[in-house]
Amino acid sequence: MNRFSSVVLDVDSTLSDVEGIDWLAALRGSEVEEWSASLTARAMAGELPIEAVYGERMGIVKPTRAEIAELAEVYLDRIAAGARETVADLSDRGVEMVMVSGGLREAILPLARELRIPEQRVYAVPVFFSNDGTYAGFDARSLFTQQTGKRSAVENMDLRGPVLAVGDGMTDAEMKPVVDGFAAFTAFRRRPPVIELADYVIESFDQLRKLVLE
Ligand SMILES: [Mg+2]
């Protein structure tokens, strides 16, 4: 009997050592990069609601289809140590694995394929392109552009319990009231306000595996 039957995984700075929108912002020069990174850091530390910064960042960054494809490669290159093995092992043991991200869905689908997590269990913000591949907007109504979006989504997913949520940011910690455990993942980022809310603090996918199975 596993301690948890479902695991909800954050993506940016959890499954992979990248903050996708910041990586895209860096393509627009160091000033835009610094501006975006400071907004991300403040949002993930709980100082700013994510909806206050989402549209503003996307409106400046305007990623093209080709840039999203490049970012997808970065997610794969920087995949967390042990993530492939842990996700495969837990899936084999019947644990339901779900990816929930405030990032862009098209950029993380290749990572999901690599982890053999089916597309219907990948929740993130859809981004749109024109026929020529230029940016045509994002789904501003997506729950995942909202501070408590992950919580609302997980509440309606009908996951088999007990459910463990895992992530480095405040939007992950917001899931705590609707799951059975929240683990702060600190391999890439240590955010004290998130750690303070956590039931568990883990710094590797090996520790996640043990936590779920014991
Ligand atoms: Mg994150």
Predicted local distance difference test score (pLDDT) of residue 31: 94
Domains in the chain: ranges and CATH: 6-213 (3.40.50.1000)
Cα 190 to ligand 1 centroid, rounded to whole Å: 11
Cα 158 to ligand 1 centroid, rounded to whole Å: 23
pLDDT tens string 162-199: 999 999 999 999 999 999 999 999 999 999 999 999 99
What burial letters (b/e) apply to 41-80, b meaning 16+ CB within 10 Å? bbbbebebebeebbeebbeebebbbebbeebbebbeeebb
Cα 76 to ligand 1 centroid, rounded to whole Å: 15
Sheet holding 96-104, edge to edge: 122-125, 96-104, 6-9, 163-167, 181-185, 200-202
How far is it, in rounded angstroms, from Cα 59 to Cα 42? 19
Cα 134 to ligand 1 centroid, rounded to whole Å: 26
Residue in 31, 102, 103 with CA at minimum distance from that of residue 60:
31
Cα 11 to ligand 1 centroid, rounded to whole Å: 6
How far is it, in rounded angstroms, from Cα 46 to Cα 214? 31
Cα 208 to ligand 1 centroid, rounded to whole Å: 16
Cα 28 to ligand 1 centroid, rounded to whole Å: 22
pLDDT tens string 69-110: 999 999 999 999 999 999 999 999 999 999 999 999 999 999
How far is it, in rounded angstroms, from Cα 205 to Cα 116? 16
Report field, pTM of the whole predicted structure over 0.85: yes
- By mean pLDDT, which of 1-15, 44-58, 79-93, 104-118 is the weakest? 44-58
- The reply to whether omega before 193 is within 30° of 0 (cis) is no
Predicted local distance difference test score (pLDDT) of residue 115: 98
Cα 131 to ligand 1 centroid, rounded to whole Å: 31
Predicted local distance difference test score (pLDDT) of residue 152: 95
Cα 205 to ligand 1 centroid, rounded to whole Å: 15
The confidence band for 67, taking pLDDT boundaries of 50, 70 and 90, is very high
Predicted local distance difference test score (pLDDT) of residue 66: 98
Predicted local distance difference test score (pLDDT) of residue 49: 84
pLDDT tens string 133-154: 999 999 999 999 988 999 999 9
* Residue type (1 letter), 143: L
Strand partners, 100: 123
